[in-house]
Amino acid sequence: MAGHTKVQRFPLFPLFGRNETTALTSMVLTPRVVTPEVVLGNRFQQQSVLKSGWAPCSATPEPFRETPKVESNAFGWPFTRDPGETPSAIWELCQARSVCHENPARTRWILLTRGEQEECIEVIQSLKNPTPYSTEEPFPQVGPAEPVGQDTYLIEECVSNKYTHKSCAKVFCHPWERCVDGKCLCKLPYQCPKNGTLVCSTNGRQFSTYCHLKSYECQRPEAKFLNKGSCVPTETFKISEHKNSSLLQVKPVSMENLFVCGNKWTMNEANVACRHLGFELGAEYYNTLFNITEYTLNASHCFRITCKGLETSLAECFIKRKLRSSSDGFVRLQCQKALRECSADEFTCANAKCISLSKTCDGINDCGDLSDELCCKECRNSSFHCRSNICIPSKNVCNKEVDCLTGEDEAQALCSGKPKRVEYYSMDTERKLTKTFLPQIHCGVVNHTLTRRKRIVGGEIASKGEFPWQVAIKETGTEGATVYCGGVYIGGCWVLTAAHCVRATRVHLYRVWIGLLDTIRYDKETDTYRLKQLIIHENYNAATYENDIALMELKGHGTGECSLKYSTPACIPWSEYMFNTGDKCKVSGWGLEKGYTKQYVLKWGNVNLFHNCSEMYPGRFFQKMACAGTYDGSIDSCKGDSGGPLVCFDAENVAYVWGVVSWGENCGEAGHPGVYTKVASYYDWISHHVTRSLISRYNI
């Protein structure tokens, strides 16, 4: 900007022959906080065009042709309508039973697919007593209309990325998967933990663990989960429909054949059932039907089925035989057999399936690929909103498994004192257990008693152990007490810093100081390391500060190992959605103070993440950069802080290095926040050099 000088956040001496240093001072611009918008009602619009299968109640249907017609039932299996079953006969029957369904938007009569009296009664009953657990797609309810195509819940920019349950920028990968280039890809079976329970697949093969089977299923989709324990040659898991009613029937291994309870059944379960049947897009809709009068359907028991929603077989879900209650109807299912163009009041899933806009951001995986829950400003129906803008079911909160990327759904403050939930065993329980056998890394943990003290606006002197990942970079031959750049310890023998701080030709001169607080006073807990190698990002641009990031490998003492007794690595973020605009983070370093005076002690300050600084720095702020500061410009990084960490904290106070101090205009000036290299954008680059196991906190 005119009238301002672009400031490198390090003393220029190493690169340009000047002996300057930098420090922690002040600054910030008001962040652009996203304001919640007004939420409108249901999105079903009045339509004048009759849908296929619908006709006005006043219209008498023409007789059906007298030749058999092949049709498809709920699962796509063919059946033949008898010539005598005319729409006229069905119309007269249903007229007598008041089948005409009237509401403020439309008066419709349904052309049924079969002529049985029981079928007509079921339809009437489902219209009079719609179940709250049904999608009710064939019988939509009408509410206040929204402007066509508009939605106040979805984040359109995010939606355009087509995130799914395989996008590790938004979700955790399964234990049989790992994150590669932003996608959850399957591991080879031998990479699974060896602890677990024996399971059997649908092709009759036994696997030592559930993880091994799921990994094998990636290569051979026909080998789905069948049952826990050894294979029994005579046993199978069957899903079928009743020959007269089209109701869903399930025959689990070693159990009887029963109908499925409608209570608690959602699109999560419907999608899994259809995938089990070979329909990869999942379910189109389902109905829950009540008061079925046919004697053979008057079952006293039914199966209650609960799924997470991403299973490939219904056998993986929790299945319990229960006494049928008055609130239990039976499930009838329609699988998605083909794609169609979505209407203006529908959401187009990443898999091209169409769902009502009112079904997005409600914690239910209606799309089947989770894309309707991953880009949400807020959530409907009491589902839980994660900071990464995803919606999870309320039942997943405080269930001892982290679903939100930064763990707020399992935060101690939220879950403390809540009664322990009864967890019924299913293969989802086995999946959770498998996660506990995966390698764990220790990072981002500080002394909580120190970080909870009152924070004063402005640079504060750091206490011992408060920033155990902070390192200082010095160069031999320069002024003894001068720290010209900072860095952040990330584990093993590796330190992260800014590319502009270092030169490949000076590797032999650099010294990394660990555990340093005061650059003048000696501390026995401070250690010094030489460098084994320096890796500067191959696309670093010294003119624009793009890709301003570098890795330093320390030369270990004795055996070559780096035993940093008084240090703790900061965690590496793997997703750019972990922290957002307005989040409070910490920046630390030995940079210049206000007035550009040198400082010799490690200082820190609270800063807020800003939405986008491209307007403040036009043509100079790029995609893989982040900016942060304070509203009044009271805290900022400055010369000498370069390469140091900007750390943000998750719900359990675990620290992630969100940014590496890079550049800015002046120091501590409102409207000119500090600019940082966004570390999450370089997760794959870092893991490629230091190995994934060193920095992957959740084995992604």
Residue 535's pLDDT band, with cuts at 50, 70 and 90, is very high
Least reliable range by pLDDT among 35-49, 347-361, 470-484, 585-599:
35-49
Q: What is the pLDDT of residue 293?
A: 62
pLDDT number for residue 130: 40
- Whether the CB-CB separation of 14 and 8 falls below 8 Å is answered with no
Looking at the predicted structure, is the pLDDT value of residue 19 above 90? no
pLDDT of residue 418: 81
- pLDDT at 356 exceeding the cut of 70: yes
Looking at per-residue pLDDT, the higher value among 380 and 425 belongs to: 380
Task: Quote the crossing angle between the two packed helices 210-219 and 427-436, to the nearest 10°.
Answer: 100
Predicted confidence band at 86 (pLDDT cuts at 50, 70, 90)?
A: very low
- Is 600 in a helix, a strand, or coil? coil
Give yes or no: 641 in active site. Answer: no
Mean of the pLDDT values across residues 147-153?
A: 61
Residue 416 has which token pair? 């403390």
| Between 646 and 557, residue with greater pLDDT | 646
Question: Which residue out of 642, 662, 687, 696 is catalytically annotated?
Answer: 642
Alpha-carbon distance of 349 to 369, in angstroms, equals 8
226 vs 525: which has the higher pLDDT: 226
Percentage of the chain with pLDDT > 90? 52
Is pLDDT at 36 greater than 60 in this prediction? no
How high is the mean pLDDT of the chain? 77
Question: In this predicted structure, what is the pLDDT of residue 297?
Answer: 62
Q: Residue 522 — very low, low, confident or very high, per pLDDT cuts 50/70/90? A: confident
Question: Is 642 a known active-site residue?
Answer: yes
pLDDT tens, position by position, 293-335? 665 566 789 999 999 999 999 999 999 999 988 778 899 999 9
- Please tell me the predicted confidence (pLDDT) of residue 189: 93
Identify the sign of the CA torsion 399, 405, 409, 415.
positive
Nearest 10 degrees: Cα torsion 608, 686, 642, 458: 30
Longest Cα–Cα distance in the chain: 101
Q: Which of 165, 500, 537, 672 is catalytic?
A: 500
Which of the residue ranges 9-13, 33-37, 247-251 would you say has the lowest mean pLDDT? Answer: 33-37
DSSP string, 15-48: HHS-------B-------PPPPPPP----PPP--
How confident is the model over 401-409, as a mean pLDDT? 95
**pTM for the whole structure:** 0.76
Instruction: Give 592's pLDDT tier (boundaries 50, 70, 90).
Output: low
| Residue 563 known to be catalytic | no
Give me the mean pLDDT over the 128-149 stretch: 36
Domains and CATH numbers, the chain: 8-26+447-690 (2.40.10.10), 238-335 (3.10.250.10)
Mean pLDDT calculated for residue range 586-598: 73
Which among 383, 342, 388 is positioned nearest to 155, based on CA atoms?
A: 388
Q: What is the pLDDT, as a whole number, of residue 294?
A: 60
Of the candidates 366, 527, 548, 636, the residue annotated as catalytic is 548
